[in-house]
Structure 1
């Protein structure tokens, strides 16, 4: 099923503004219509009341017996509407004495009504608003009427004159909105073009000049992502380069030992030696690959998850027991000194075990036969110390560098063990220091 692409942000904002403007215009029109109609009703009711009171002070005795009418005259300004106002004057017995000459003569007499009333003219279905008022001498009744349609038309004209300019201005506002949105979205379009033309391994951050404040967190997150991606690519390239460089020698040695074993068919002793060397080379290559993969996995970690409290005394005891038999085979005695059995740290047991195992393996591997390796736990650190010859100051300054091995070493190794130790310590917020012990030997101390 083909997915439809969403509308552009500019179009969505324009449509949303249009809908909101129309809804606001309609609501304002309804409210204005209601309020204007109510105000006009009060105004016209007051007008009818004032007109009726003015008529009530006339000299009714001078009216002729036949109902006269007011003559219509042309006026220079304004217009005369028969529905605007109509009136009639009756005697109390219902005889019409005076009317306006138009709709007033069609107002039916009401004997009982006093005040405002709604009704109709004779032979007419239009609704009218009437005001009945009795003169002070109780001999005459005055009625002033106004058609309801006239009031509504007047209210509609007022509302139309007020709201039409806003309706005309709406297209202009939309055009202005589209122009403003185009100007405001221009930095985003520029940012998109920059991302489209960006090289995959580029580490330079994206510029945030002119970017709206709401979009700036996205740009910052992208810059952080580019930095992490660049670091990861560099790490992968370094791993590939290191693996290719370091595996070249073991693989070449394996090929040589394989050739020697193939050429030693007539000499079982030489073939056995070649196979033993081949086995040793395979172990070395496997250890190198394992250390490279471990270091690569540790480099990819920024923080550790699933931490748990670890008793360092139990951790060191387990590591010493695991390395006890290899140490005995090498003629080395491993001793554990626990000065504080209550020390506990938050960490990952497997990584901390790897840290201690690498330190013990390094001490056992590079100590002469008959040596002693002391593992000591204190309140704020633990240390692994051998009583070998130590290392020179020049080598001590570079110890811990990847693939660095002090000169004069007879044991095989990759130079990655102490680098792994340092990386695990940093992930656990620990500090590793290397040095020569004053009483002789090499010491590695992990403190927190």
Structure 2
């Protein structure tokens, strides 16, 4: 069974791509590891210094006792007492007289002490050594570590001619002192660690400001904005990637210009021969007998020419719309433009006996900062599309409303509607849904033209199921124009509002 991932490690996993979090967690983890290493180093240094100082004190104490006349001294150990660095065990005993038996305490030592000739003034038998800490007679002064019932001891032995002085101290006392010194040295660092992490977070946030500004700049760009991204204030680590993006934008812009030029040239070249064919077909329709003009093949020919003519007009509109620069526009009344489009399409609606109605729910004038021709293209394509796919005797409802500096143009029909999964395909170029009646004249460009035009005006295009009529509902949201005072040019200067989140 796999172990659950730690939260800190999860943030460093490939699924989490926040470089800011990775830096902060990595630097914090490095600080903690550094704290542990510093603590261990401080402990080792403090322990060595403590050993050196206390060894020197014990040694000086032993030589001081050597100048005294003390011949015997037994240290006492209290198991329940807590010893510190000032506590030592002092043991002094005289050597045994030659010929005497070596005391049991010396026999139990790790090294057997040799017997020596002693004067009559020396004591013949040492006292008892219940803790077995006395070492045998040594030839030279030295330090030694022993294990006894008192714990691990650091012992300094000073052998004299008549006696031996032994001063010992518990090693755990020295270790405890070294730990206290190390902790005291680390307390300032531990206190400063939270401030260090906070400072690192603020520093990382400050260093990432150019990246945040880049994110905001990219997010605020429109879909058709291919201008180069400013890289002057970007870090050197990401500047090459942005340079590659700028080169990609340049190639895309060049390809779009070539595509637009091709569409415009093709539409222009096709327009004249198709118009001539359409005129010739009308002449034939007038000169040929009715049984020929009413033939099914003749009707298909006429319908094909209409489709081709419609396609050419849509291609020319698309090319003109893509090449049109964005510039301030005078105020345009949306309601007036809707009435104009309805008048143009009323004949098409009557041919199919479609009821075409309009409802304006806004009490204020719906003034838009938009090109009238571009606005008419949006309205015409949406209403014309609704008329095409609404069955004979159907109904189309047009509603206008406004709220919070936005105007809404809604068209719903009683046609067959569109599946929700196919909404995204409605704005794709040259795409017609399989369930669409292929006898209906269309090019697959109408709603694509609407989508691009709405985007240029800073609005949105949405699709939904019509609640009242049961067909497709198309909703266009456009920002209302707020116009400054009349300038020297005699026209109002528009100010566009961006759509809120």
What TM-score do the two structures reach when normalised by structure 1? 0.47
Greater helix share, structure number: 1
Larger Cα Rg: Structure 1 or Structure 2? 1
Q: Normalising by structure 2, what TM-score?
A: 0.42
